[in-house]
Amino acid sequence: MSLIDLKNLRVDPVSSFHKFHTTVDVLRLDLIHPIISGNKWFKLKEYLEEARKLNKKFIVTYGGAFSNHIIATAAAARESGMRSIGIIRGEKTDSVSITLKDAISFGMELAFISREDYRKKTMPSLISDNYNPEDIYIINEGGYGLKGTDGAADILKQIDSAGYSHIIAAVGTGTTLAGLIKSSQKEQQVTGISVLKNNLSLKKEIDDLLPAEYKEHFNLIHDYHFGGYAKYTAQLLNFMNTWFESTNIPSDFVYTGKLFYAINDLIQKNHFPSKSKLLIIHSGGLQGNRSLPKGALIF
């Protein structure tokens, strides 16, 4: 991927937590690419490599109208010399989201299906009737799967992460967290902040991606979803602005805004032992903020 530049990745310290005897560093994966940003590249790269080896012509994947995964896949497929098709949750409307417009600009063809068919992961007739199945490579929603996990396991290899007591990330499908779990050390605590409401199947979905010896090597916190996936409140947006003012680190309202809010709240509640050293994974996805009302954020 010619446009991915891992040299742009860096670790930013957040000094405001020192008064709580806690060290917090943010791994800025959002800086590696403006579109294929953060964990998306790591989750996609092993799939794309396999698709190339199999001489596939089309990458097919699933996502919603504001999906970071959809736009990242569209851009990554184009850079990899393949075409892409996005199966989009929900019926087509008169106008499409900014995210989907960008995906189209990267050459992605869109197929809209009902939410019921989406839950069943039905293959729409647009694809089954017009494309040779031998030419198609399917990537699950959010890159969920073993190859996505193996790719995400490379995240911690980009820095010296051995000195951290805790590694924390926002969680959607659980693929990134599974990768972090696999590449972390036994004495490190890996924590996922779930951005979905009542996502009680999440632990099993993560367990399914892990060898037996890793299945108790993490914990999930479900208290910071702000109403559910892609839901937000004025409180969350205000925090994101305050966080940016104090750290110069932008966040998105779907994932990292909730992650940073959770970290801030948990530290103030003495959730972490004294002298803990936290590594927070900034998973990118800032393009999703474009769906917010103009002026909602200061960055």
Residues 19, 53, single domain; the answer is no
Q: Looking at residue 102, which CATH number applies to its domain? A: 3.40.50.1100
| Amino acid identity for residue 200 in this structure | L
Assess whether pLDDT exceeds 70 at residue 281.
Answer: yes
Residues 161, 272, single domain; the answer is yes
Looking at residue 1, what is its pLDDT? 45
**Per the domain annotation, does 298 fall within a domain?**
no
Write the DSSP symbol of residue 238. Answer: H
Which tokens hold the place of 297?
Answer: 């954020």
Task: Give the predicted TM-score (pTM) of the model.
Answer: 0.95
Residues 181, 252, single domain; the answer is yes
**Per the domain annotation, does 297 fall within a domain?**
no
- DSSP codes, 82-102: -EEEEEEES---SS--HHHHH
Tens of pLDDT, residues 30-79:
999 989 989 999 999 999 999 999 999 999 999 999 999 999 999 999 99
Domain residues for the domain of 113 are: 40-143
pLDDT-derived band of residue 150, with 50, 70 and 90 as boundaries? very high
The number of distinct structural domains making up the chain is 2
Closest CA to 66 of 249, 235, 254: 254
Residues 136, 246, single domain; the answer is no
Q: Which of 114, 143, 172 is the last residue of a domain?
A: 143
Residues 129, 156, single domain; the answer is no
Tens of pLDDT, residues 180-211:
999 999 999 999 999 999 998 999 999 999 99
| 97 within 8 A of 121, measured Cβ to Cβ | no
Looking at residue 94, what is its pLDDT? 84
Residues 193, 286, single domain; the answer is yes
